[in-house]
Amino acid sequence: MRAAPTILHLDMDAFFAAAEQAAKPSLRGKPVIVGGLGPRGVVATASYEARRFGVHSAMPMGQARRLAPNAAFLVPRFSFYRSISEQVMELLGRLSPLVEPLSLDEAFVDLEAGEVADDSLSARAAGERLRVEILAATGLTGSVGLAGSKMIAKIASEEAKPDGLVLIEPGTERELLGPRSVRILPGVGPATGEHLRRAGMTTVADLAEAGEDELVRLLGRSHGASLYRMAQGYDDRPVVAERDAKSVSVEDTFDVDLHDRVRIRTEVDRLAERCVGRLRASGHSGRTIVLKVRRYDFSTLTRSETLRGPTDDVVVVREAAGRLLEAVDTTGGVRLLGVGVSGLADYTQEDLFAQAEARAEAEARAEAEGQAGDAGEVAVAAAETSVVPEPAVEPEAEGAVERHWAPGNDVRHAVYGAGWVQGSGVGRVTVRFEEPTWSEPGRVRTFAVDDPELVPGEALPLVDRGVDAGGVGVAGTG
């Protein structure tokens, strides 16, 4: 525990939704909900305007639609959010060499290690300066908590929301925590909270009064002892600059249960390719391939296979995931599939045997289909270069392929410029043409989904780089 509030916790305000509002002038000040839009989708983030209707993160999207039917419902654009996060993390890195990211929009910073603060006055100045710099760089707001420990700093940033700063002086932790619900402490979720409530403990003060022995009896040695220390306001966890990734994984929940075995295998292949993309982006390789299958009855199965050495080869991962799928009974339907790689390393030891096996299987499949010529060559080339060829589209069929335009995604029109998808259906797509730096909403136009002049676009910067910090006028939800 520190004698000065030199641990900072930053939490961007309603990050995904605020970024969408900043990017889309027509949505500023209006309820925006970001998440999966299918029947089984969940809310990732809701703007503060949407929260007034009772919408919150992790809520089923169907319930969110009932609570706020007039809100804008958008799919997440993770590459866009990641680019903003990188700007924010760069600013944090200027404050201190000890920055511990928790997610795209949240991180701890050790101000003392960066020699920018050693008391309350300098810590507050650093926090306020950070908030100004984030707004200037990204057009978005963040809330800052300052305290002598990570736990209290995170509580402080929550109290600061939205767009504020709260500093909690060391030595006042017990007084602060005492009347609060036990749910404010890390590790106390709904189940543990209910367990404690049945034991007559609803506030942090109740935990402190119960004593360590009673909490250990109720929750076990590790959890009970840890909870008692936190109830005393004690948290000596350091800010850790780099936390080693243990695994990389991707998963999808399907709107309708999958029954067709070929379709299930196709989805597993697609997930394997996405997983390898993330694996390579992180600069890692891995030895253990993991398949996750959640069936129609919500039972979840995981299967794994450990290779001879680490790999980041898409063919090796795809074939291993396929072998794991063969051992899983999918009778009755599948609602979720996931592929992951664990046992990560910073180098790649090519599994030549597995690659050779993949090439042999690809050739055998092509030959069995009577296409051992061109198709076999394409399959072998894919195995050797770790690149999956795009499926060929017959020229006469191109016009019959209906492109999918998801609400919120960026587009560009040859005549009207940059815009975003408001909605699509029955062969039409509605687009609002506007840019982040505009002060007024743009105009709406409707096109055929296969209009050749309408193509997917790139996210535009939220802030005009030609405007200095004092002139930035694009903000998030505030």
| Alpha carbon separation from 226 to 187, 216, 237, 282 (Å, rounded) | 9, 9, 12, 33
CA dihedral (404, 407, 410, 416) positive or negative: positive
Contact criterion met (CB below 8 Å) for 152 and 233: yes
CB 361 within 8 A of CB 380: no
419 touches 352 (CB < 8 A): no
Distance CA 282, CA 110 (A): 24
**Catalytic, out of 20, 100, 106, 112:** 106
Residue in 157, 204, 209, 198 with CA at minimum distance from that of residue 180 = 204
- Cis link prior to 186 (omega < 30° from 0)? no
3-class SS of residue 344: strand
Please count the other Cβ atoms lying within 10 Å of the Cβ belonging to residue 151. Answer: 23
Token pair listed for 175:
């007084």
- Please enumerate in sequence order all residues whose Cβ is within 8 A of that of 292, keeping only pairs 6 or more positions apart, or say none: 249, 251, 300, 301, 302, 336, 337, 338, 339, 340
Contact present, 450 and 399 (Cβ < 8 Å)? yes
> Is 106 among the residues known to form the active site?
yes
Active site members: 106
